[in-house]
Structure 1
Amino acid sequence: MALPRPHRFDVYLAAGGLLGGLLLVGIGLGTRPSSDPMTLFDGPWPVLVPLTVLAGCELLRRTAPRAALLTATVAICADLTTQGSIASILMFTDVVYAAVLYGPLASARRIQWITGLLTVAGTLAPFAVWREPEALLIGVVVGVVAYGPAATGWIVRDHRDAAEAARLRAEQTALLAEMDRTQAVVAERARMARELHDMVANHLSAIAIHSTAALSIDDPATSREALTVVRENSVAGLAEMRRLIRILRDTDGDREPAAVPTLDGLAALVEGARANGLDITLDAERVEVPAPVELAAYRIVQESLTNALKHACPGRVTVTLARRDTILDVRVSSPYGHRDGPRVAGSGSGLVGMRERAALLGGTFEAGPEGALWTVCAALPLSEAEGDRQ
């Protein structure tokens, strides 16, 4: 398996180290005199062998840091048998630094321990043998050449890992914020869709039914009555639409918020449905409930009456609201079966909206035929809504 290409900066380091070492050899500058007992290979040219190997190790400092360190260790030991070169020592320290910075975490820790132990051994062993204070300088040199670069690499690595962790946390926070924003937008769109449907569908359904009746029945009095209902519902629906648009466009935080429908408005809602031709019986207890439950109950009754206007057979529609412990029961029943006369096709979004309103409060919702009746039942818990209000 071929090694990846060296990093451009590593190529510059290798070239600079090799050229610097050649310059030092050319001017005859080494780290030890030829008379030193450790100099086994006299002359300037044997220095070139470890110098060239260490320059090659610089090329591998990122791509293969452990192999580069092992090879560089052998090369620096070989350099001790020559007159030596400052360039070789500098390149070795850089390889140690890179091995800790770019190598695996386990290898970086081992290099820390090994160089530390070598520094301690290089300090104590020569002093124990020679009993000379100058012997302590050997440990200092080992520490500067080996442990110092390793410690520096570990510090840089620690800061780099901390910066990477901070970056990942920032990205995660931004992602969560974007998810929250998206969910908020989706929830707001769903709420707006429910409000728009509940406010306007009743009026539009009445308009569609009475306009169909006016077109199909050849009776001036009936047509006039139907057109009167059409006009009333058109005006009311237009007013509701304008109110909703004004709410959406309003950016003035000091403006008074629009009035929210309450259960006190059920009587007016029922009267309006009666004017559209429904026979309704209202049985609603006067109970104090939290505002979210009150709005949900009102909208469920409103949508149920709209569905009754569009789909119910002739007969009585019953609206019942009663509190049972911590539950507000909402029940709307209307005649179910084949209907003669004009009707309006339904999209099913009304049932979806009612079910969503009940689910948002942690309640239950059911709608379906029960014998000769179509019944809508919603159980809205009061405890969670009261806790939210507090």
Structure 2
Amino acid sequence: MAVRLPRPHHHDVRIAVGGLLGGLFLYAFGLGVRPADEPIVLWPDSRVLLVPLVVMAVCELLRRTMPRAALLIGTAAVTADIFTRGSLATVLMFTDLVYTAVLYGPPATARRVPWITGLMTVAATVVPFAAWRVPEALLVGVGVGLVALAPAATGWIVRNHRDTAAAERLRAEQTALLAEIDRSQAVTAERARMARELHDMVANHLSAIAIHSTAALSLDDPRTSKDALGVIRENSVEGLAEMRRLIGILRDDSGDKEPSAAPTLDGLEALAEGARTNGLDVALDATHENRLPAPVELAAYRIVQESLTNALKHASPGRVAVTLAERDGSLAVRVTSPYGDRDGPRAPGSGAGLVGMRERVALLHGTFEAGPEDCGRGKVWTVRATLPITHGGTE
């Protein structure tokens, strides 16, 4: 099967054609490097120098696609050119092959060529001087250095700069990608936080409105309907106030994670009283010695609020017990409500409340459990959360 050579780069074609035409121009005017009577010239016929010239021009076609093969063949061509009258174009094209072998060749070739040309330069300087003992012998080493070592060193420098620039571009792209990932994660986290706030702020009031409006529509009792409408109005006003606070959070450009008006544990009694107004039998036992970090207080408040909302929507008649206690460097939150069939109207649930509570606890590196369990007075639904008290933590 025939081996198909890679197509040369269009710049390489121009360089090869330019080198060949330059060599032919020098040949046409009889401008050789060495006179025909020099001892080193084995082939004084001027036409012989055209063979290394043409071979070198062909090698230039491969300078980018096959740099190592081009250098090996070019080295043989320039060696043969030494024993002819010589062509300056052949030598110049060889220096370009040395340069491109280091610049475009494999890493191993790029490392070895400067060392090899350096050793050749040293040898070409020391050996002729030791043999002839005349200062002019040092010019051989200078010539080899200009033809071989200088282009190799130049190619190594350019390659290092090119690799460094590529590495910097890659690092910049990676940094930009990481920044975009961080931005996306920050946006996602902020959207999740606002979703939790929206759910926790409004769900309690809307659930009460739904339950009492259902009761008002299903019971043909004017007094019951009037009481239900009163509860509906109260929850509507409170829900509207919560929505205004949420809008204030969205418009706050101070950069704070939570505004100063965020709920605290001091508001638990009012929260429980509101639940009692909505028809729940709530027993609150909240004890903590010191002021807790704002993220911990907010998470505890929202967990209690969501648990009361769930009890209002799903719990059977009976007492809802809310207990908060600070112990072993953490705040323990426990809410229990009767679990079983419910006779009264029931508000639909989406499951987002449990997800939001679990997310709040996870952000504080705490533990969360929710589910039914048996106790002495029957089956209850229990919500347990343990919130580590880490001052300076953020949600």
TM-score range, shorter chain: over 0.9
Pairs within 5 Å for 1:9-48: 9-48=11-50
1:378 aligned partner: 385
Pairing 1:307–2:310 present? yes
Q: 1:21 and 1:238 mapped to 2: Cα distance? A: 91
Which residue of 348, 359, 363 corresponds with 1:360? 363
For the 8 Å contact 2:299–2:360, the answer to whether it is kept is yes
Q: 1:258 and 1:7 mapped to 2: Cα distance? A: 67
The aligned amino acid for 1:373 is V
Pairing 1:171–2:173 present? yes
Q: 2:357 and 2:149 mapped to 1: Cα distance? A: 72
The aligned amino acid for 1:15 is V
Change (3 A) 1:225 1:325: same
For the 8 Å contact 2:67–2:104, the answer to whether it is kept is yes
SS of corresponding position for 2:14: helix
User: Structure 2 length as normaliser, TM-score?
Assistant: 0.95
Q: 1:303 and 1:2 mapped to 2: Cα distance? A: 74
Q: 1:207 and 1:258 mapped to 2: Cα distance? A: 28
CA positional deviation for 1:242: 2.1
User: Structure 1 length as normaliser, TM-score?
Assistant: 0.96
CA positional deviation for 1:388: 3.2
Q: 1:262 and 1:4 mapped to 2: Cα distance? A: 74
CA positional deviation for 1:116: 0.6
Pairing 1:130–2:116 present? no
The aligned amino acid for 2:114 is Q
Pairing 1:316–2:319 present? yes
1:229 aligned partner: 231
Pairing 1:75–2:77 present? yes
Pairs within 5 Å for 1:244-323: 244-251=246-253, 257-288=259-290, 289-323=292-326
Structure 1, unpaired ranges of 5+: none
Q: 1:54 and 1:82 mapped to 2: Cα distance? A: 15
The aligned amino acid for 2:388 is P
The aligned amino acid for 1:388 is G
1:388 aligned partner: 393
Count of aligned positions: 386
1:338 aligned partner: 341
Q: Deviations over 1:96-137 (max 9, x none)?
A: 000011111111221111111110010011111111100000
SS of corresponding position for 1:213: helix
Q: 1:2 and 1:317 mapped to 2: Cα distance? A: 84
CA positional deviation for 1:218: 0.4
SS of corresponding position for 2:382: strand
SS of corresponding position for 2:324: strand
Q: 2:84 and 2:61 mapped to 1: Cα distance? A: 23
SS of corresponding position for 2:343: coil
The aligned amino acid for 1:19 is L
1:186 aligned partner: 188
Q: 2:305 and 2:254 mapped to 1: Cα distance? A: 30
Q: Percent identity?
A: 72
Pairs within 5 Å for 1:98-247: 98-247=100-249
SS of corresponding position for 1:320: strand
Q: 2:381 and 2:251 mapped to 1: Cα distance? A: 39
Q: 2:329 and 2:259 mapped to 1: Cα distance? A: 29
SS of corresponding position for 1:319: strand
The aligned amino acid for 2:201 is M
Moved over 6 A (4+): none
The aligned amino acid for 2:251 is R
Q: 1:388 and 1:353 mapped to 2: Cα distance? A: 19
For the 8 Å contact 1:247–1:258, the answer to whether it is kept is no
Q: 2:165 and 2:66 mapped to 1: Cα distance? A: 24
Structure 2, unpaired ranges of 5+: none
Alignment RMSD: 1.5
